[in-house]
Structure 1
Amino acid sequence: MASDKEFKAVPDGDALATMERDLRFHKIRNDDPTVLSEDQIERFNREGYLRPFRVFGENEISEIRSYFDELLQKYLAEGKDSYSISTAHLKHGRVYDILKKPEIVALVKDLLGDDVVGWGSHFFCKMPHDGKSVAWHQDASYWPLSPSKAVTVWLAIDDADAGNANMRFIAGSHHYGHMTFRPSGSHEQNVLNQTIDHPEQYGTPVDDPLLAGECSIHSDLLLHGSEANESDRRRCALTLRYAAADVRAGMDWNEKGVIVSGSDPSGHWKNPPRPDAE
């Protein structure tokens, strides 16, 4: 189902499969966090995620939702689907601004350090009764990044709960390193293209319910997924991807990286400017 190379498991032949990567969890060490507490950092180290954080007020998220509604209609009119708005910060100035929002970046900095890049932005919009699930997977399996010092911020555009298929985590599963996955069959109606079977061997699933304007943060190695939305309500989120600036990106993905905090002394990340288009 994925149309953007951000979500192909082995894009460009076997380039990702043959890329040498450090896919170990790197424990967060921060003796002077700015926003998070020491207990929260320890919880992230232990469980691989943190939630919830209020980053937009009701009026702000309502405006963002209206903006997304208009954006979605444009994409649908072009024959695309509700999962097609990917790498959006390179195309849409307003998404670029959300990627750099200080309240979000402050949370990420406490986990990744002062020098941070934001390189990914993808709307995951589950329409009512669309029948598509997101199979259990690790983000790191899709990303040509090394070492594994990256997180996803999952920003709720709509309220997300068990009724409309909120995201679910396997707490602590990031400690198992990179897991074996299989290609998903077309009959599985998976939004992505990988499936990790028998997730219960790594722990117990926990729900990630969020109100619109709240976000959660999880490690790129944490096992997660969501069921199909069988409700009458839409469930839309914007995923924002961040990495420490000393992470190396293969396959030209460094061209996506925007410096959101500190600097990139190596000059590895391209740091593209804000796009004019809204």
Structure 2
Amino acid sequence: MLTQDQKDFYAQNGYLKVEGAVTGELLARLQAVTNRLIDASREVAENNEVYDLDTGHSAEAPRLTRIKLPHKQDPVFWETLTQSGVTEVLTDLLGPDTYINTSKLNTKAPGGGAAVEWHQDWAFYPHTNDDLLAFGLMLEDVDEANGPLKVIPGTHKGPVLSHHAGGVFCGAVDPDDPLFEQDKAVTLTGKAGDMTIHHVRLLHGSAPNRSDRARKILFYELARADAWPILGASSYIHALGQRGFWADLQDRVVTGAPCLTPRLENVPVSMPLPPAKDNTSIFKTQSSGGAKSAFA
């Protein structure tokens, strides 16, 4: 699906936008299921295994930061990942054998929906190599007003900046870090069905949603099968034990098969320890860890 020029652009810059990755009936189904899940959150009063609620959430006016693990909430999200143009892009960039680390549907509420402070995904979950990426599939039009994704090109080739504050992993870089060059940021807007891609080491973030529309982006975080997680990273898998991990790994295969020979590369690693007081989501990690906002 990708041209060689697109692959070269991604390799050089660490991000890419693909227009019309999902269209037509599949996009309509994704939108309908998302709206149904948001509507169902009216019955929820606190964060649970499906929803992260935003400030001011109520039955009358549901406000979410995120729907957790959408690929486990409805089959259409798994179908999109495994049987669509999204799948073609995945294999173009990571090869025939891939697995999913996690998914999330960030539904950033209108009128001030929470920002995601600048960070590198790699800081949360370093692996034996950095052939990992995230897809951001826009389920509605995204413009400058409703908190679009911002990236800093080329930072996937640089250092892993400190994501600590006061000796605790806070999941965000300090905006005063001299290596953080926010003036080089690129804003990724688009139409429903467009998809962004960013490398696991690329610096990125998103401002609060100041519009009157939710910003609905479906994120899949994916890895080449020979990239194995390092013990101590912020992942549920470390609590599973060997048999549980093996069963879970097979459930997470997107294309091809698991790889039992991890590829070790000389990549920069800093462990996300000690953890923040509440590390149940990036929002909680950044707030409880004392992250300094770049969007204040």
Q: Is TM more than 0.5 here?
A: yes
1:194 aligns with 2:160: no
The match for 2:260 is 266
Q: Is the 8 A contact 1:173 1:203 kept in 2?
A: no
Deviations for 1:161-187, whole angstroms, at most 9, x for unmatched residues?
102121111011111131112349xxx
Partner of 2:112: 130
Where 1:207 maps in the other structure, the secondary structure is strand
The Cα shift of 1:73 comes to 2.4
Q: Which runs of 4+ in 1 moved over 4 A?
A: none
Measured in 2, the distance between the counterparts of 1:245 and 1:56 equals 24
Distance 1:171 1:203, change over 3 A: farther
Matched, 1:120 2:86: no
Structure scoring higher RCO (CA < 8 A, sep ≥ 6) equals 1
Q: Secondary structure at the match of 2:11?
A: helix
TM-score, normalization by structure 2? 0.69
Superposed CA deviations along residues 117-146 of structure 1, whole A, max 9, x for unmatched, are: 123110111111134211111111122533
Identity %: 23
- Equivalent residues of 1:174, 1:222 under 8 A apart: yes
Relative to 1, partners in 2 of residues 1:169 and 1:141: Cα closer, same or farther, differing over 3 Å?
same
Out of 212, 217, 220, the residue aligned to residue 232 of structure 1 is 212
Cα deviation digits, residues 73-110 of structure 1 (max 9, x gap): 22342223123422232343222222213311211111
- Give the stretch that moved more between structures: 77-86 or 148-157: 77-86
How many Å separate the matches in 1 of 2:29 and 2:84?
A: 18
Which residue does the alignment assign to 1:109? 91
Q: TM-score when scaled to structure 1?
A: 0.74
Distance verdict in 2 for CA 1:162–1:65, change over 3 Å: same
Listed one character per residue, the Cα deviations across residues 209-267 of structure 1 (whole Å, up to 9, x for unaligned) are 12111101110100011111111111110101110001113451652652222222429
Q: Secondary structure at the match of 1:248?
A: coil
8 Å Cα contact 1:117/1:259 also seen in 2: yes
- The equivalent residue for 2:34 is 68
Gapped regions of structure 2 (runs ≥ 5): 48-52, 54-63, 239-244, 263-296
Instruction: Report the more deviating stretch, 233-242 or 124-133.
Output: 124-133
2:6 to 17, 37, 40: 40
Measured in 1, the distance between the counterparts of 2:127 and 2:73 equals 22
Aligned ranges 1:1-278 → 2 under 5 Å: 35-79=1-45, 80=47, 81=53, 82-183=64-165, 193-198=171-176, 200-201=180-181, 204-249=184-229, 250=231, 251=235, 252=237, 255=248, 258-266=252-260
Alignment root-mean-square deviation, CA: 2.5
Figure out how many residues of one structure are paired with residues of the other and give that number: 227
- The aligned amino acid for 1:207 is T
